Chains A and B, each alone.
Chain A
Amino acid sequence: MLVFVAKRLGSLVVVLFFLTLLVFTLGKVADSDPVRTYVGVNASAEAVEAAREELGLDNPIPVQFGSFVAGAVQGDFGISLSSKRPIADELSTRLPATLELAGWALALTVVIGVSLASLYSRPGRFGAFMRFVFFSAASAPSFLIAMLSVLVFYKWLDGALPAAGRSSYGPYEDATGFYVLDGILHGSPTYTWDAIQHLLLPAFAAAVGSGVALARVLADGISSSLGSPWARTARALGEREGTVLRRHALRNASSPALSLLAVQAGFMVSSLVVVEQVFSWNGLGSYLSGAIGVGDFPAIAAVCLILGAVYVILNTLVDVALAAVDPRVRLS
């Protein structure tokens, strides 16, 4: 087990290094000139030279890469070309926003996945219809689901759920930035409930795609284990079908589902970027699309690096967890 963890950690470091190298290289080959973006088209030659020095672009490229890595490790991602402020400062309020949304979306993914899978795997019932639902939901872009849910819950149901932003009240002073948690910490049910209401629609829109993918894997696993000898034994011992499903089939199907969930986290990141835009959610995603609009590559690189690192680390954790549960994984 220790050997497995050590190997996994080693490859984690290698992947993170190459991820950083790739993002850095992309910044160097990007077709816009960072100095020009920084100082503007009409700046004097001296201003350009000063900016080049300020951004550290007068150093040789290996030195630049070294300071890029050193900065990234300490959470310093340089200066935004458009706002001229440190990128880390701008991201500090946005990271909790995205993490909060991602956490809720992940929870909803599991809820959607497990409930759809239990419906689907009952033999005979809903079979063809559920297949249609699966494929429709898996083919719907997340912004379509986001827009439709806004039309239904905000427009037609007359503002039943809010359609934009994170809160009707604004943040507390000296808070964690996770609004639901902040509401609980400050003992305000109104604030907490308001934050939850704001979370529901965007989290749902981001969760549908991965929820359906999860349901398919779970349903496959469940239907094969429901036909297995030990399921028959459980039935013969007088267990009800629901108990066989919950206690035996679902548990057996959960190991492949867990590794799928880690992969889905990567897809969820991309739907979060899209969904944040629809709901004017002030997170990393809307920051990223803003940076794309103005060609601010250092900001783009910072967001990609953070999201990428989260994804790679998450995958490592899941691998280790799977190996802890299932000894066969360690040997493969």
Chain B
Amino acid sequence: MTRKQKRLAVIAGGMSFILVAVLLVMFAFSQSVAYFFMPADLAKSDVKPGTRIRLGGLVAEGSVKRGQGSTVSFTVTDGTGSVPVTYTGILPDLFREGQGVVTEGAFDAASHGFVADSVLAKHDENYMPKEVADRLKAQGVWNEGQGNQGQGSQGQPDGAKGTATR
């Protein structure tokens, strides 16, 4: 091979690696990205059972029921609609009735209920997940002054950790 051909081969190799990376990223986005919904949205759009979504809203007062073992059921509401959710596992420290929550999972085809595999009670200083707070404020169901007893942002969803000062 001449030097020119060698250089071409190297560039082609590099380009194909980048191409593979781009395809992989696009594929991964189509596969593993979860969209955010609130109960009211679900009435408007058609989410098929088995599709992974994030469901956010307030935990309805009096709806938390502990079943067998570590299975918990509760209702997520946003004032307009409400969705029953079941979850098996340990709830975050900050999970409580009347407060905001984001759950991730999919609708069950048989029971039409939402089966969550992770529950996030990831709060900003107003005890409200950001996505949920934005929407509830827009709908006027909730405002900043409410639920203000907790300071500091904290929360441990099945996928978040705290390292506070970066």
B partners with A: no
